[in-house]
């Protein structure tokens, strides 16, 4: 299948090396130990960057660092979203200031929900799960694109930047970066540029390194914002840094996506529901019969259950390697592999959902 990768659509098999070449992304440099201890960095699932050296230098020198990212509140919070949350928690523990946008305006312009529905999802799914995973929202600047701040000078600065950046963009540039483009998409790209750049305005932190951790589909937005920031003369921006992670595979292959319940496991799915989805939908790299499987072995590279373990549900590298080897050799069957995943997910969800229930009470104040 031909793949399509744009900020608004991800389809087909993703060739990450090709993307790296086409987008001109660098491989990650040698990373300090704290990063190596984190599964996503250690296993190469965060695989490319722009200007990440600046981020490492700021951490080393204990200089101010902002981590900025955002998510569209378009459905259930699933294990794909958790990849972003885990990175934010790592950076927060390193002392970085976290800016977290709820892209409700973008979702309003590209999906079919009301602002009220989007806000509810943002709070009960996104904020509650972030908090339950261990992100300290009180220390974050957590905001809605539709409601930047109750403080006038901050809100003005953000919306002013979003509006004034358009002088520095051309229609040809939009077309070159995004291909097919509509007014709604143009507005989203400009607002997202403001999301990524405004932490450096004097009303916020002032010029400093900002890193944007995202899925690789978001790179067009980064290229656009990086170009605009250097043309904008009203303020001197430190060039944006970014890191890119692989897409978590959906249960049936492709990308885990909140628009298809049979593709995802949500962090609010009950352990029984999760087990059912794994048994019923998780694509298997095993052979059609047990005899054939014992003889030829399975393929963990395409096996979604194995991949979910690799993306973090089995954090122990030695245990993961043993599972991989046993599966490849045919010593382990698909049913056994799925059972390992189900046990891991059950333990995770059971504990997580207790934390989420508590977190829901804390974040309720964000709902009007
Ligand atoms: N476009 C992003 C998405 O589709 C959401 C987003 C909005 C974002 N503003 C951002 C991501 C700023 C990173 C940085 O999920």
Give the pairing type, strands 97-102 and 66-71. parallel
Q: For a pocket test of ligand 1, which of 81, 100, 214 has the largest count of ligand atoms closer than 8 A to its C-beta?
A: 214
Handedness of CA 51, 55, 58, 63 (dihedral sign): positive
Nearest-CA residue for atom 10 of ligand 1: 70
pLDDT at 363: 86
Give 196 Cα–ligand 1 centroid separation in angstroms. Answer: 9
Rounded distance from Cα 68 to ligand 1 centre (Å): 9
The tokens for 341 are 């995943």
Rounded distance from Cα 327 to ligand 1 centre (Å): 37
Please list the residues that pair with 26 across neighbouring strands: 49
Direct distance between the N- and C-terminal alpha carbons of the chain, in angstroms, rounded to an integer: 45
Residue-level pLDDT at 367:
58
Atom of ligand 1 minimally distant from the CA of 214: 13
- List the residue whose alpha carbon is closest to atom 14 of ligand 1: 69
**Closest C-alpha residue for ligand 1 atom 2:** 71
pTM for this model (two decimals): 0.95
Ligand 1 centroid, distance to 105 Cα (angstroms): 11
Cα 171 to Cα 301: distance, rounded to the nearest angstrom = 41
CA 323 to chain centre: 27
CA of 134: how far to CAs of 73, 139, 359, in Å?
19, 12, 10
Could you identify the atom of ligand 1 that is nearest to the CA of residue 72? 15
Cα of 214 from ligand 1 centre, angstroms: 8
For 87-145, what is each residue's pLDDT tens digit?
999 999 999 999 999 999 999 988 889 999 999 999 999 999 999 999 999 999 999 99
Instruction: Give which of 298, 316, 213, 305 is closest to 265, Cα–Cα.
Output: 305
Ligand 1 centre distance from Cα of residue 293 (Å): 42
**Residue ranges around ligand 1 (CB below 6 Å):** 7, 68-72, 101, 103, 106, 192, 195-196, 212, 214, 218
Ligand 1 centroid – CA 317 distance (Å)? 31
Which of ligand 1's atoms lies nearest the C-alpha of 103? 7
The DSSP letter of residue 198 is: G
CA–CA distances in Å: residue 230 to residues 68, 225, 236, 338, 355 = 18, 9, 8, 50, 43
Q: Which pLDDT belongs to residue 1?
A: 56
Is-same-fold flag (4-246; 261-359)? no
Pocket residue to mutate for ligand 1, from 103, 121, 148, 228, most atoms within 8 A of Cβ: 103
Question: 261-359 has which CATH code?
Answer: 1.10.240.10
Q: Which atom of ligand 1 is nearest to the CA of 8?
A: 4
DSSP 266: B
- Here the tokens at position 274 are 């999760």
C-beta separation of 213 from 242 below 8 A: yes
Per domain, the residue ranges of the chain are: 4-246, 261-359
Give the atom of ligand 1 at the shortest distance from the alpha carbon of 68: 14
- Give the distance (Å) from ligand 1 centre to CA of residue 192: 6
Residues 4-246, CATH architecture: 3-Layer(aba) Sandwich (3.40)
Stretches where the chain sits below pLDDT 50 are: 368
Tokens of 167: 């002088």
d(CA 216, CA 347): 30
């Amino acid at each position: 299948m031909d793949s399509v990768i744009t900020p608004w659509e991800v389809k087909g098999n993703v060739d990450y090396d090709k993307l790296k070449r086409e987008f001109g992304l660098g491989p990650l440099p040698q990373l300090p130990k704290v990063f190596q201890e984190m599964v996503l960095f250690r296993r190469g699932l965060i695989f490319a960057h722009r200007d990440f050296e600046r981020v490492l230098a700021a951490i080393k020198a204990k200089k101010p660092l902002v981590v900025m990212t955002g998510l569209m509140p378009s459905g259930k919070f699933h294990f794909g979203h958790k990849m972003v949350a885990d990175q934010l928690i790592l950076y927060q523990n390193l002392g970085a200031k976290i800016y977290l946008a709820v892209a409700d305006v973008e979702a309003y312009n590209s999906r079919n929900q009301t602002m009220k529905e989007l806000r509810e999802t943002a709070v009960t799914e996104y904020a509650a799960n972030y908090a339950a995973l261990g992100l300290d929202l009180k220390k974050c600047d957590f905001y809605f694109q539709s409601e930047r701040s109750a403080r006038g000078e901050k809100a003005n600065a953000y919306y002013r930047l979003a509006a004034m950046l358009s002088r520095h963009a051309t229609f040809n540039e939009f077309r070159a970066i995004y291909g097919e483009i509509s007014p709604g998409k143009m507005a989203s790209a400009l607002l997202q540029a403001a999301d990524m750049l405004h932490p450096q305005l004097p009303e916020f932190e002032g010029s400093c390194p900002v890193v944007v951790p995202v899925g690789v589909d978001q790179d067009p937005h980064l290229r656009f914002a990086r170009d605009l920031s250097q043309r904008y003369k009203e303020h001197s921006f430190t060039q944006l840094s970014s890191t890119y992670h692989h897409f978590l595979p959906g249960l049936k292959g492709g990308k885990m996506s909140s628009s298809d319940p049979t593709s995802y496991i949500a962090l609010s799915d009950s352990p029984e529901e999760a087990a059912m989805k794994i048994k019923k939908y998780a694509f298997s790299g095993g052979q059609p019969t047990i005899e054939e499987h014992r003889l030829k072995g399975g393929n963990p590279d395409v096996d979604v259950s194995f991949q979910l373990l690799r993306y973090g549900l089995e954090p122990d590298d030695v245990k993961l390697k043993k599972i991989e080897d046993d599966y490849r050799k045919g010593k382990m069957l698909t049913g056994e592999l799925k059972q390992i995943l189900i046990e891991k997910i059950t333990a995770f969800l059971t504990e997580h959902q207790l934390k989420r229930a508590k977190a829901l009470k804390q974040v309720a104040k964000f709902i009007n």
